[in-house]
């Protein structure tokens, strides 16, 4: 079961999106998957 603060990283067109599971909007948009994953980890505090 996912927690509200869990995040998803996925590709949307030419960009990678970092999005909180309980949000309708992207938290951040990046040019690479690695950048999006790093941003997601930073936002989780890991």
Question: pLDDT tens digits for 1-46?
Answer: 556 678 999 999 999 999 998 889 999 999 999 999 999 999 988 6
What is the pLDDT, as a whole number, of residue 4?
A: 61
What is the pLDDT, as a whole number, of residue 38?
A: 95
**Global model pTM greater than 0.85:** no
Q: How many CB atoms lie within 10 A of CB 40?
A: 22
Share of the chain above pLDDT 70, in %: 89
Q: What is the DSSP letter of 26?
A: -
* Dihedral pair phi/psi, residue 21, rounded to 5°: -60, -35
DSSP-H helix ranges across 4-46 = 33-44
What is the pLDDT, as a whole number, of residue 22?
A: 87
């Amino acid at each position: 079961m996912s927690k509200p603060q869990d995040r998803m990283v996925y590709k949307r067109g030419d960009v990678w999106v970092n999005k909180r599971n309980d949000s309708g909007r992207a938290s951040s948009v990046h040019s690479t998957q690695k950048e999006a994953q790093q941003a997601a980890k930073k936002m989780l505090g890991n």
